[in-house]
A and B are shown apart, each in its own frame.
Chain A
Amino acid sequence: MAVVTHAADAVVAAPTPVSLPTPGAPGVYVHVPFCAHRCDYCDFAVTTGADALARRRSVAALPRELATVAAAGPAAVAPRGAAGVLAAPDGAADIAGWPVFGSVFVGGGTPTLLDADDLAGVVRAVATALPLAGDAEITVEANPETVIAESLATLVAAGVTRLSLGAQSFSPSVLATLGRRHDVSSVASAVTAARAAGVAQVSVDLIYGTPGERDADWHASLRQAVGLGVDHVSCYALTVEANTPFAARVRRGEVPDIDEDVQARRMATADAVLAAAGLRRYEVSNWARPGAESAHNRTYWRGGDWLALGASSHGHWQGRRWWNVRPTGRYLAAVEAGGAPVAGAEVLTAEQRRTERLLTGLRTVDGVPRAAVTPVDEAQIGALVRAGLLVDDAARLRLTPAGLPLADGIALRLLPARERC
């Protein structure tokens, strides 16, 4: 049962034994845009070369933005005329009308480039401004080389329950191709430090299908990740994003383009190695020890609600999406001027909502309730089932292991014929 914790308790709250928060509880995403340098493949909203002042401004701006959002209440983020507040199952809601939040995710960028005290302050600010479940999942994303024991203790004291480490690969040559600057050994040190500091759950991110990576490299990376005893692994297929140095190298023919067949094979290897280590796949790119699935990510895939703070962050509340301005400077200026840093918003039509549910829901192994996506092109279902890509059990549509890597194409096929044309 979720318990409403407010600021006072949050400070003293020791990391509670992790259980999954109430399904459907909303989340909070906080973006910290700083990185020491930009990796060649990355197109996330990232600022490099920021000085201490910019970081300080950010640390001040986030709680300020948060306070404004919190005070305005859910009516300000929901579509106009939405059916009031989605109350948590136990009916708890705070003064501004917020339901209890089940997760916080501080992502980046590299949040751990902030001073540990500042970062801890941001986490506390969330717990101060919004009602958080006592067993809320609170994740901080970190680059391995930025993780040190003392800072971890500070974060844990602030309530952080989960650390997501960007390991990317355990092959030095792959790391070099990706333009990563950490060395392989720093991942193990970071995991050890996190455990010692009492971080309840540790996850690593891996990237596969990098040009030059061999099957054996990938296999070895997986084995090493598993060997560290992490609770959760995210394996992402390398995506060549337009306007990145990596894309330019591909365009100039310096590195070969992505081979989707190779990526498919790597994905299957990941599933086999991780499953053998007791990590169960729960989404296209995510594997976890049973019970250690990320509540926050699940919110995205289930069409749940989350608030968004920080430059470039995207939020969703009951069918309305909005997003903050992307450049860090513009974000800071907007908040410091006392305004909202929101760049845009859209209220989804019923059809768009169904499309998104299908698109995100099919990525999870549990699939998507039929009721949430109807109408779909029934004529396609039979063929997909016969081809061994889809399971249709009347209540849910769900992809098989062969279907998961094809989730996008399948979603496209399932969209009702008239919408498709």
Chain B
Amino acid sequence: MTYPIERIRNFAIIAHVDHGKSTLADRMLQATKLVDARDMREQYLDRMDIERERGITIKAQAVRMPYEASDGSEYLLNLIDTPGHVDFSYEVSRAMNACEGAILLVDAAQGVQAQTVANLYVAIEAGLEVVPVLNKIDLPAARPEEVAEEVAALLGGDPADILAVSAKTGQGVPEVLERIVAHVPAPRGDVDGPPRGLVFDSVFDPYRGVITFVRIIDGILRPDTHIRLMATGFHNGIDELGVISPEPRPVDALGPGEVGYFTAAIKAVELAKVGDTVTDHVRPAPQPLPGYREPTPMVFSGLYPVDSADFPDLRDALEKLRLNDASFTFEPETSVALGFGFRCGFLGLLHMEIISERLDREFDIPLVTTAPNVAYEVHLDERTLKPNEPRVVTVSNPAELPAPNRIDHLLEPVVDAMVLCPSEYVGAVMQLCERRRGELAKMDYLSEQRVELRYTLPLGEIIFDFFDRLKSSTRGYASLDYEPAGMRRSKLVKVDILLNGEPVDAFSAIVHADKSYEYGKAMVSKLRELIPRQLFDVPIQAAIGGKIISRETVKARRKDVLAKCYGGDITRKRKLLERQKEGKKRMKSVGAVEIPQEAFVAALSVGGD
């Protein structure tokens, strides 16, 4: 039995990070009596350890909440909890395409932030009915009237109509549910046509294979359907068809408008990617749903085992993680300094952090991670081309940038960035963006106090500590969101770092020519701080195209021996050595130099300015 389509409401909650999305979802689970107070735990829908610990949503989750509305009928509310971070903007857009409405949740103390606006645009683009809601009205610092004005300025409409709630206490939450029933349109779909379902998330489960979350657009999926995923071509019989309400529960059909999941012995999420269309293998839909896109990594980094003997284990670990996450890529590469490792591609910095954290947590392989970088498009000089060599190459590892004399010109990825900040910080933000080679595209006053700035910025500048600098120069008041905006031609050069006179390829970075001296100097002095004194002097140099631009020396240690009398207590001394041995696990030997892992990401804190 499928649910009557006219009584289904599919909606997402969109909000800037920490504005209370997860908390509001918790309250809804309670207000619809799906979870009673006794079984309630915070952030109910965040399932991964990392999500709970960091308080962020990485995976979209869908929960089905039967709700008896004040008109006396039962409705089916499907809440799709979307990830809130720019790195996952494509996943957000797919999740929204699975909905007809969105709650725009705004912290009544903080007001509208960049992610609020960015997500709002995505919702509008997806044609969603937007229900604005102010949250945290229980806070003494809440300014519901002012923030309502801000929201109305964005959305139009009467500020007085905007609902105000406290997701903490639950105040106002029933009104939100009523408004969803009243304002969010029911889905529409062709129940008789061949099935088409939008995959908006997929999660790997070691026992059941991939659990694929779908929103049915047309037709009906049944437990005996032989499904096909149209982008990847994967097809198989369904093992289990179900809904999350709030725990997984099998159902015997999913019809138009409904949201649920299926398993079908799918071995990796790669086979059921976000954005794909699920159909019936026997009676396939003629056309997939629009909007499918292959995930494109934007940020790259080298991952190397500290102990080269761990290389096969690292490969296994990356393969396992990929079963879970189809949006990161890895390819083996070798580094003169670091040996065998992988060049990994990520959606963004947070995504990179999450993957490294999972590697560390789930596999325990000591790793060296190189500073992140973007991918450059290198146009080679025609005259230097070797037979069959393409004229344009993509370089995702700075060490592989061809020699300067072979390069005609370079393109780097840029983003359209939106910064929202109180007006008194406009100057500071502009200064930062200009130092980071940004070009101002637009500046708008959302209200007298809130300014929206739009810049075109090189992505390579954003990944160098931009967010932290933005926060610190605006006392935490600015917020940032961005989206890819193609490639731009730039004057870039490679800065190499030499230790003991030997270039260490893993330290090479591509930076703008005008900043290369400054960068080289800063990097050398940062490394001097980070590399501990050793048994020998370690000269550190920065070079551009073979020319040394900066030099410092880590002076040899002159004494390290524990020269105190320790009687017969040698155990203690051995333990000390064993602890140091442990410490060495975090060091990578390059030639005779021992380099702590942090040094490889030193560029992060010296980039830009």
CB-defined A-B contacts under 8 Å, sample of 30? A44-B567, A234-B565, A236-B563, A237-B559, A260-B560, A261-B559, A264-B559, A284-B561, A285-B563, A300-B567, A300-B568, A308-B568, A313-B568, A314-B567, A314-B570, A316-B568, A321-B571, A346-B571, A356-B574, A360-B570, A405-B559, A406-B557, A406-B559, A408-B562, A408-B580, A409-B535, A409-B557, A410-B535, A412-B584, A421-B307
Partner of B574, one of A234, A260, A352: A352
B584 and A316: CB pair below 8 A?
no
Chain A, 258-292, CB within 8 A of any chain B CB:
260-261, 263-265, 267, 284-285
Q: How many A-B residue pairs have CB under 8 A?
A: 115
Chain B residues contacting A415 (CB-CB under 8 Å) are 581
Q: With A and B bound together, what is the CA distance between A260 and B306 in angstroms? A: 29
Chain A, 38-73, CB within 8 A of any chain B CB:
44
Partner of A205, one of B309, B565, B571: B565
Asked if A419 is at the interface of the complex by the 8 Å CB criterion, the answer is yes
Chain B residues contacting A261 (CB-CB under 8 Å) are 558-559
With A323-B571, A412-B577 known as contacts, the answer to whether A406 contacts B306 (CB < 8 A) is no
A236 and B565: CB pair below 8 A?
yes
Asked if B536 is at the interface of the complex by the 8 Å CB criterion, the answer is yes
Chain A residues contacting B581 (CB-CB under 8 Å) are 412, 415, 419-420
Asked if B153 is at the interface of the complex by the 8 Å CB criterion, the answer is no
Interface string of B504-535 (1 = CB under 8 A from A): 00000000000000000000000000000011
Chain A residues contacting B385 (CB-CB under 8 Å) are none
Partner of B563, one of A263, A387, A420: A263
Asked if A78 is at the interface of the complex by the 8 Å CB criterion, the answer is no
B535 and A321: CB pair below 8 A?
no
Asked if A127 is at the interface of the complex by the 8 Å CB criterion, the answer is no
Chain A residues contacting B560 (CB-CB under 8 Å) are 260, 405-409
Asked if B547 is at the interface of the complex by the 8 Å CB criterion, the answer is no
B535 and A389: CB pair below 8 A?
yes
The binding surface of chain B is classed by DSSP as loop
A359 and B569: CB pair below 8 A?
no
A411 and B535: CB pair below 8 A?
no
Q: With A and B bound together, what is the CA distance between A355 and B309 in angstroms? A: 22
Asked if B489 is at the interface of the complex by the 8 Å CB criterion, the answer is no
Q: Given known contacts A263-B563, A409-B535, A419-B581, what 14 new A-B pairs fall within 8 Å (CB)? A: A44-B567, A260-B560, A314-B570, A323-B569, A323-B571, A346-B571, A356-B574, A384-B535, A405-B559, A411-B577, A412-B580, A412-B584, A421-B366, A421-B584
Asked if A3 is at the interface of the complex by the 8 Å CB criterion, the answer is no
Q: With A and B bound together, what is the CA distance between A387 and B568 in angstroms? A: 32
Q: With A and B bound together, what is the CA distance between A53 and B389 in angstroms? A: 92
Residue of B nearest to A362 (CB): B561
Interface string of A295-306 (1 = CB under 8 A from B): 000001000001
Q: How close is B596's CB to chain A, nearest CB, in angstroms?
A: 14
Q: With A and B bound together, what is the CA distance between A359 and B571 in angstroms? A: 11
Q: With A and B bound together, what is the CA distance between A392 and B360 in angstroms? A: 40
Q: With A and B bound together, what is the CA distance between A238 and B559 in angstroms? A: 13
A387 and B535: CB pair below 8 A?
yes
Residue of A nearest to B563 (CB): A237
Chain B residues contacting A389 (CB-CB under 8 Å) are 535
Chain B residues contacting A407 (CB-CB under 8 Å) are 560-561
Chain A, 341-367, CB within 8 A of any chain B CB:
346, 352, 355-356, 359-360, 363
Interface string of B540-559 (1 = CB under 8 A from A): 00000000000000000111
Partner of B559, one of A260, A300, A359, A420: A260
B564 and A285: CB pair below 8 A?
yes
Asked if A404 is at the interface of the complex by the 8 Å CB criterion, the answer is yes
Chain A residues contacting B559 (CB-CB under 8 Å) are 237, 260-261, 263-264, 267, 405-406
Q: With A and B bound together, what is the CA distance between A387 and B573 in angstroms? A: 26
Asked if A239 is at the interface of the complex by the 8 Å CB criterion, the answer is yes
Q: With A and B bound together, what is the CA distance between A298 and B568 in angstroms? A: 11
With A315-B568, A415-B581 known as contacts, the answer to whether A406 contacts B558 (CB < 8 A) is yes
Chain B residues contacting A29 (CB-CB under 8 Å) are 567-568
Asked if A107 is at the interface of the complex by the 8 Å CB criterion, the answer is yes
Asked if A333 is at the interface of the complex by the 8 Å CB criterion, the answer is no
Interface string of B149-163 (1 = CB under 8 A from A): 000000000000000
Q: With A and B bound together, what is the CA distance between A263 and B584 in angstroms? A: 24
Residue of A nearest to B565 (CB): A236
Q: With A and B bound together, what is the CA distance between A313 and B566 in angstroms? A: 11
Q: With A and B bound together, what is the CA distance between A39 and B577 in angstroms? A: 27
B558 and A239: CB pair below 8 A?
no
Q: How close is B13's CB to chain A, nearest CB, in angstroms?
A: 47
Residue of A nearest to B585 (CB): A421
B568 and A420: CB pair below 8 A?
no
Chain A residues contacting B570 (CB-CB under 8 Å) are 300, 314, 316, 321, 356, 359-360
